Structure 1
C-alpha cells in the first residue's frame, strides 16, 4: 500500500515538473519528463510494484534467489574448468584428432613454365639472386644499418 502511494506521489511530482517545463516552451523536454513520470503509475497499475514488495519481504523468494545464484556459480565454474582443460565437448576433441591424423600431400606443384623437366632444368649458377622475401636480404640490410652506426 505504501509503495503504491509513493509511486503515485513521484508521478504527480514528475507531471508537475513537466508542466513547468512546458510553460518555459521546452516542449520536447516536457514530453520526455512526462513519459518518465508516468512509468511508476504504470508499474502500480500492472501490479509489478505489489509483486516486488511481496518478493523483497519474502524469505522463500530470497531462498530461490540463493539457489539460482548457486546454480549460476556451478555453471560458470564448470565452464571455466572445461576451458582450462581444453575439453569443451566431443566435437572439438574429434576435430583436434582429425587435424592430427591428417596427412599432408606428397606431390609438389608443377613449375610455372609448364615444363616437366627434372632437376637438370634448374639454372646452372650456384647461387641465385635473393627473392624479395629472402632472409639473406633481410640480414644484409641489418648488417648495413649496424655498420652505419659503427656497431
Structure 2
C-alpha cells in the first residue's frame, strides 16, 4: 500500500513538471518527462517494485549477484589472457622478419649497404661546403 502511494505521488510530481515544461512550449521535452514520470506507477502496478524491495534485503540474492560478478570477471580475464597469447605470437614473428618500411633492394636491382648510403649523404654535404668555399 505504501509503495503504491509513494509511486503515485512521484508520478504526479513528474507529470506536474511535464505540464510546466509544456506551458513553455517545449513539447518534445514535456513528452519525454511525462513518459519518465509514468514509470513509477507502471512499475508499482506490475509488482516490480515489490519484487525489487524483497530482493534488496535478501542475502541469498546478493550472493547470487556476487556469483554472477565472479563469472563475468572470470570470463573477461580468460578473454584477456587469450588476447595476450595471440599478441606474443605475432610479436615474435614480427621480430624475426625485417621491418615493412625497410627496402630489401634498390630499384636498380643492386644492393647497397648502410655505409654506401652514408657516403652518398656526406658527398652531397661536401659538395655544398666546397661550393661555398668552406
Distance 2:109 2:46 in 1: 71
Q: Which segment drifts farther, 24-33 or 63-72?
A: 24-33
Say if 1:45 and 1:135 are closer, same or farther in 2 by CA, change over 3 A. Answer: farther
Runs (5+) with no aligned partner, structure 2:
87-105, 130-134
Tell me the CA shift for residue 37 of structure 1: 0.7
CA RMSD, aligned part only?
A: 3.5
Higher helix share: 2
Counterpart check, 1:23 vs 2:23: yes
TM-score normalised to the size of structure 2?
0.58
Q: How do residues 53-64 of structure 1 correspond to structure 2 at under 5 angstroms?
A: 53-64=53-64
Tell me the CA shift for residue 36 of structure 1: 1.4
Runs (5+) with no aligned partner, structure 1:
87-129
Does structure 2 conserve the Cα–Cα contact (< 8 Å) formed by 1:12 and 1:37? Answer: yes
Say if 1:82 and 1:5 are closer, same or farther in 2 by CA, change over 3 A. Answer: same
Say if 1:85 and 1:31 are closer, same or farther in 2 by CA, change over 3 A. Answer: closer
Distance 1:133 1:37 in 2: 77
Q: How do residues 132-143 of structure 1 correspond to structure 2 at under 5 angstroms?
A: 139=117, 143=121
The count of corresponding residues between Structure 1 and Structure 2 is 106
Tell me the CA shift for residue 9 of structure 1: 1.6
With a CA cutoff of 8 Å and minimum separation of 6, indicate the structure with the bigger relative contact order: 2
Aligned residue for 2:6? 6
Decide which structure has the larger Cα Rg and report it: 1
Say if 1:31 and 1:85 are closer, same or farther in 2 by CA, change over 3 A. Answer: closer
